[in-house]
Structure 1
């Protein structure tokens, strides 16, 4: 049967494709601008020509000119036709040069760029059903992940997420024990340890290079013996009787999240709390058909689902699992109490108790 083609809709799709390709290329351009100091130089010096930017950053003028023009075409910088100068607007200055801002974006682009570098491998994995481990990805994935999530943790963890948990802050102020599971580079572990000097913390992750970085971060922060890190999968971290266990943006990546949750329950004190932080998601596909959901479904396809499938069980919850599926995981592990206590544009925070 012949289907009539709406030529306007077809060309609309073509022009959208042009925008999509430009956005794909821009991920690499943002990482380039971050690493070469282009954004910082624009922020520091104001309206700038391509030769000036090249001189200030010690880079070649041919590259700076094309990079600036691409950024101007994408609306990341502004171009003055009268002077030939490029300006980084104040909003972009915050988002692209201020690591203390919750809107800081370079890490988001960096993890995206690192993720798509394995697209060919992911295509082959999709044919066979194989997985791709977190450890198999480039360092842009590992570093970009921390750089993306850390500003949100800095903005929310101490001010709203932990206070939303029943009695937890008071316990940590008195002196409690905390296990941070899937801690990566230890950003969340170190942040909590600095805030609660009477408490002790142990971070764990199966990825040894990340644990080595975490140990350096703790040493640089002068946290001494109150913070330790170990290489261990989520269902085998050491210790027991914890007042608080935390898991940040990691449960959905695990091959056996029920097994990990069961181990958390066994490791908690009888009145302990598990703070589970997961990506923002609704329970139904239609709840997630928005820009955040689109990005997370993309990461789920190319990064998180392959990571889960590379491990035993390979449940593959997906980045957009949603509260109901996360609750089912905790219930299957023997937890009886589950509630959503906080959220941000990118995260949901759950309080889980025995």
Structure 2
């Protein structure tokens, strides 16, 4: 196939994939996956009744999902109103169980939100400014990192760093600062796994901090986990044995300032843990699928978030190891360790003063 026709086919295929994600948005927002997971197979009329939706719309949604293999149908030859549809057990963790680390039902919401800001993004690309802040409504704030942090941060990732794990288990109890903590699940996860430590989470988003404070109350950890609205470049009081910056440094307009602040807060023997995207060591084209994925979010979100400040580092999502080393050196760190483990999406760095 020549390159012209290959590109036509690629765009057509990607358009179908985008539409599938919008159909997943509908399923997530309308509770269709949850209803199939909780109450089992259903006809279109039964699923519509369970979810308070219109049968004709739901019939089309079910047929689309069956055509794409997202749900199973018992008898394709049956009359449309008599077909029964099942959400396969293997798909429940991905589409219906928000507590599972494999949950990806939120991807439709992410893509819908990204599409809404495209007109503003077009103008931002012209002016060099940041686009206006987008409200979280009507979907509400996504907490897609919750199961990952609760199941892996304190149970797998931190124990894999012996010096950090040892300090978090030792006396006197360690103090941890969690920069750009969002709705607080990273801070809560660390406190759950290390019952002696205290964690102070900070974020610029007041709504996120309010949610984080509520989560700390709900989990019974508000005596050891506190949250406040603050810039990562503002020094917190006291000394900390660990400062974490989890999937956030590349979004910051002043990453060196944030790292310099983190360094100034460290107690003797303390270090900074940075989790960021798993990217190639250098620019590559054509790039692997994961690199293309990160570039997509950099175009739509990560780079725009850091624009608007004339002094912004404008890092974008593709913060390569050499870039982080340069930032860390400028912030006064003597060592930048690329830790000898990673996930499918993230790389880990430990910065030593």
Structure 2 length as normaliser, TM-score? 0.91
Which of 75, 79, 82 is the aligned partner of 2:77?
82
Contact in 1 for aligned 2:128/2:308 (Cα 8 Å)? no
Higher mean C-alpha deviation, range 258-267 or range 135-144? 135-144
* Distance of 1:67 and 1:167 partners within structure 2: 51
Q: What are the residue-to-residue correspondences of 1:1-354 with 2, within 5 Å?
A: 9-79=3-73, 80-83=75-78, 84-132=83-131, 135-139=133-137, 143-144=141-142, 146-147=143-144, 149-174=145-170, 175-286=173-284, 289-311=287-309, 313-341=311-339, 342-354=341-353
Greater fraction of residues in helix: 1
Structure 1 length as normaliser, TM-score? 0.90
Higher relative contact order (Cα pairs below 8 Å, separated by 6+ residues)? 1
Measured after TM superposition, the shift of residue 48 of structure 1 is: 2.2
Contact in 1 for aligned 2:94/2:103 (Cα 8 Å)? yes
Contact in 2 for aligned 1:102/1:154 (Cα 8 Å)? no
Let me know the Cα RMSD of the aligned residues.
Answer: 2.1
Measured after TM superposition, the shift of residue 214 of structure 1 is: 0.6
1:178-232 CA-to-partner distances (Å, cap 9, x unmatched) read: 0000000001011111222211111000111111111111111111321111111
* Distance of 2:138 and 2:183 partners within structure 1: 13
Measured after TM superposition, the shift of residue 113 of structure 1 is: 2.2
Task: Structure 2 unaligned segments of length 5 or more: list them.
Answer: none
* Distance of 2:307 and 2:157 partners within structure 1: 30
Aligned length: 345
> Aligned in 2, Cα 1:142/1:302: closer, same or farther, shift over 3 Å?
farther
> Aligned in 2, Cα 1:257/1:139: closer, same or farther, shift over 3 Å?
farther
1:238-259 CA-to-partner distances (Å, cap 9, x unmatched) read: 2231001011110000001011
